[in-house]
Structures are given as C-alpha cells and as structure tokens.
C-alpha cells in the first residue's frame, strides 16, 4: 500500500527514481512508492538519502509491512517510529451534516490548537494547511465542539489525516464523505484511537512504520511557496493595496489604480511570442534583485487565491515561480509586503504597471523588449 502522488503539493517539487517518488517541500521531504525491485535496496535507499541531503531536507519514508525495506533503511541511518495499524472500511452512509469549516480561518486555527494537543497523526495539521488542502474539493476539515478531523481523497479512498479525539472516530467512520471515486475510508492509528476505529467497524489490513532521517544541516523553517486565500494575512495586504493605490476595478474606466511615483505602464495587448517569453523573465529577474535577503514576495489575483513566496527559492531546483506576469483574465500583482515595489496587471486595459525600485532596475530592458511605455509617473 502506498500514498500515490497526484498533483504536486503547493510549493513542492516531485522527482521520480524508478518506482520511488520523492516529494521535496523545502522544509522536509517524503518518499512514496509502489512495489520495489528485488535488486539492491541499499543502493536505492542511498540514492534517495543523497537527493534529500543535497536539498538539506530531513526525510520521512513510510513503509507498509515490508521488513526487508525497513532493514535497508535502518542500515542507512534512518530511525523507525512505532508502527501503526492501517485500517479500512467501506465509506459510510450517514448523511448527518458535520461541522465543515471551509474557508473559516478562525475554525482552522481552532483545529490547529486541538491537533497540537493530540496525535500522533498520519498527516500533521500544519502540513495539511501548508498545502492549502482546506481549499481543495478533495479534502475535508470538520469541527464538532472540541473534536476535529481532517481528511483527503486519494485514489479510491478517503484518507484520515488526523482525529483529535477517539470519541469522534465513530462519526468519522459512519459519515458519507461523497467523493465520487472514493469507495473506502482509510486511517492509521494506535492505542485508544485504533480501538475506537475498530469498534466503529474498521479492520486492520497492514501496518505502517515511518522511518526518519535528519538533514545534514539546519533545514529551512518555511516552504518556498505558501498559498493564501482566507488567511487574515491575505485580507490585510489586499486591504492595504486598495487604500494605497485607490484600486478601482472597472472594465472601461482606466487606469485601475492611482499609479504611484516612479512608475511606468506598458501596453501588452498584442505581444509577439518572443515578447511574451521576455516579459516574465525580465520581471522575475528584477524582483529577485530588488528584494533584500530573505524578503518574501506576494502574488495577488483578484478574487482568487494568491501566494507568498521566497523569490530566491523558486525556479531552478525549486518549485516554479508562482503566478503570472501577464494579466490574463484578471488583475494580477507582484508586491513586497510593504508595497514599496511591484507590478500591477490590468486585464481590460491590457497593461502592466511597474513601480518602485523594480522599475529602476528593469526600465531599460522592458522598453527594449516591449517598446516605449504608454504612461510614466514622475519620481
């Protein structure tokens, strides 16, 4: 049994080595795989350990009932956690509404508090949120008083990431989770939680042991990219953007903002393929050079999810640069947290405004690539 990788998690890089799938989160790494070859497991394990060490990521490798692989991991320096039972049952039929919290950030914070005082969980709630799984149609977060659970659909199963109270297990098992492809509920548990799941009708099919290997140095504390939507942080930067730039969305009245001093605006409505390729390259390079060491950037997309990210850790060996430079269908902006520099893409005027120190750095390159701007504001 393995947890097949579907879409890459937000801000992660997925690599393959034969049957082995490595997911690099920037803060840590995980391994999943199907059946392994009968050949040299030691060499296979060593290659994965080296790949994570190059990125300075601690790694977790779940092993489902395979003592041969476990022995190879121990020999390579991994340490084993206590085994947990893997339990399954058909999806329940109870349609009684549970306390789904959707985009309620206060509710998510309450679940995080409950999760911190319980466990161990198959998927820590902090990681669940970091992947923005609470925004996905394939995931569920439920809160019932002081009891909570988080689940996600993987293949033909709804997989329990965590349950904060064994007393909530019966409701989780009985519920009809209504994911089209899901036929089974799957959970991992020990102790009282395992007993509660089994009492509710789940049965053990195997065990899982997680093997962990530390990174060679101090790993990064934050992921390269974080998706934002319902968080107060996201609402705050949008509110400040509206105030600072007098943002006024409209399909006919242009420009959409009060363009700040030291800004220029280019028309991008009929770019050639070469210009479309040059635009993001120039803007990304300028943004990297404009921020101070360790400073993160935001990409905002009006009425959609945005991102906070570290420009020094995207592209190259990292995840792809988030967002779009070209204003394709909606208002897009790259911004520093203090709004001192960035871009504003207007989809209806078909323009991009560049301002602050970013303009100073890329003005000549953009003009050479796109032609003269349609507007300039004095410094």
Which pLDDT does position 128 carry in this prediction?
87
Note whether 29 and 55 are within 8 A (CB): yes
Q: The whole model's pTM is what?
A: 0.90
For residue 200, is it left (φ>0), alpha (ψ between -120 and 50) or beta?
Answer: alpha
Task: Sort 236 into a burial class: Cβ within 10 Å, 0-12 / 13-18 / 19+.
Answer: exposed
Task: Show Cβ contacts of residue 231 under 8 Å, excluding neighbours closer than 6 positions.
Answer: 105
Task: Show Cβ contacts of residue 110 under 8 Å, excluding neighbours closer than 6 positions.
Answer: 143, 148
CA 341, CA 260: separation in Å to the nearest integer? 10
Pairing relationship of beta strands 203-213 and 29-33 according to DSSP bridges = unpaired
Fold that domain 86-212 belongs to in CATH: Aminopeptidase (3.40.630)
Note whether 19 and 25 are within 8 A (CB): no
- The gap from C-alpha 149 to its chain's centroid, in whole angstroms, comes to 19
Which pLDDT does position 77 carry in this prediction?
98
Handedness of CA 10, 15, 18, 20 (dihedral sign): negative
Q: State the distance between the two ends of the chain, measured CA to CA, in whole angstroms.
A: 62
Which pLDDT does position 130 carry in this prediction?
81
Which pLDDT does position 6 carry in this prediction?
52
Q: CA-CA-CA-CA torsion for 285, 286, 288, 293, nearest 10 degrees?
A: 150
Q: Residue 94: how many CA atoms within 13 Å on its side-chain side?
A: 10
Which pLDDT does position 70 carry in this prediction?
95
Per-10-residue mean pLDDT for the chain, 379 residues long? 58 94 96 89 96 98 92 97 97 93 89 94 89 70 96 93 97 94 96 98 97 97 90 94 97 95 96 96 98 96 94 94 91 98 97 98 98 91
Which single residue is written with the structure tokens 């198959």? 122
Note whether 146 and 120 are within 8 A (CB): no
Per-position DSSP letters for 158-210, written without gaps between them: EEEEEES-GGGHHHHHHB----TT--EEEEEE-HHHHHHHHHTT-EEEEEEEE
Cis peptide before 103 (omega within 30 of 0): no
Note whether 103 and 303 are within 8 A (CB): no
H or E segment to which residue 302 belongs: none
Which pLDDT does position 3 carry in this prediction?
47
| Closest C-alpha to 20, from 72, 56, 84 | 72
* Residue-range domain boundaries for the chain: 13-80, 86-212, 225-377
């Amino acid at each position: 049994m393995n947890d097949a990788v579907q879409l890459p998690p937000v801000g992660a890089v997925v690599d393959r080595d034969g049957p082995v799938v490595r997911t690099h989160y920037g803060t840590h790494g995980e391994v999943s795989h199907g059946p392994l070859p009968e050949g040299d497991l030691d060499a296979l394990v060593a290659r994965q350990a080296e790949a994570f060490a190059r990125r300075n990521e601690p790694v977790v490798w779940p092993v489902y009932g395979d003592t041969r692989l476990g022995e190879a991991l121990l020999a390579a320096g991994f340490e084993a956690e206590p085994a947990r039972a893997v339990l399954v049952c058909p999806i329940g039929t109870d349609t009684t509404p549970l306390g789904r919290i959707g985009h309620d950030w206060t509710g998510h914070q309450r679940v995080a508090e409950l999760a911190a005082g319980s466990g161990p969980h198959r998927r820590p709630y902090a990681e669940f949120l970091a992947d923005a799984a609470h925004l996905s149609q394939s995931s569920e977060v439920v809160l019932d008083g002081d009891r909570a659970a988080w689940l996600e659909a993987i293949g033909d199963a709804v997989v329990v990431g965590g349950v904060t109270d064994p007393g909530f297990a019966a409701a989780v098992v009985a519920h009809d989770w209504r994911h089209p492809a899901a036929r089974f509920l799957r959970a991992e548990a020990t102790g009282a939680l395992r007993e509660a799941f089994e009492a509710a009708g789940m049965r053990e099919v195997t065990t899982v042991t997680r093997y962990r290997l530390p990174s060679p140095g101090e790993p990064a504390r934050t992921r390269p990219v974080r998706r934002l939507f319902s968080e107060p942080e996201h609402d705050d930067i949008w509110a400040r953007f509206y105030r600072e730039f007098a943002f006024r969305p409209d399909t006919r009245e242009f420009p959409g903002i009060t363009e700040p001093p030291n800004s220029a605006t280019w028309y991008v409505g009929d770019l050639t393929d070469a210009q479309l390729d040059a635009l993001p390259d120039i803007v990304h390079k300028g943004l990297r050079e404009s921020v101070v060491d360790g400073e993160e950037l935001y990409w905002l997309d009006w009425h959609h999810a945005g991102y906070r990210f570290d420009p020094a850790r995207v592209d190259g060996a990292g995840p792809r640069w988030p967002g779009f430079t070209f204003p394709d269908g909606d208002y897009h902006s790259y911004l520093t947290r203090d709004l001192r520099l960035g871009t504003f893409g207007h989809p209806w005027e078909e323009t991009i405004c560049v301002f602050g120190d970013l303009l100073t750095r890329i003005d000549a390159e953009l003009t050479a690539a796109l032609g003269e701007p349609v507007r300039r504001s004095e410094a």
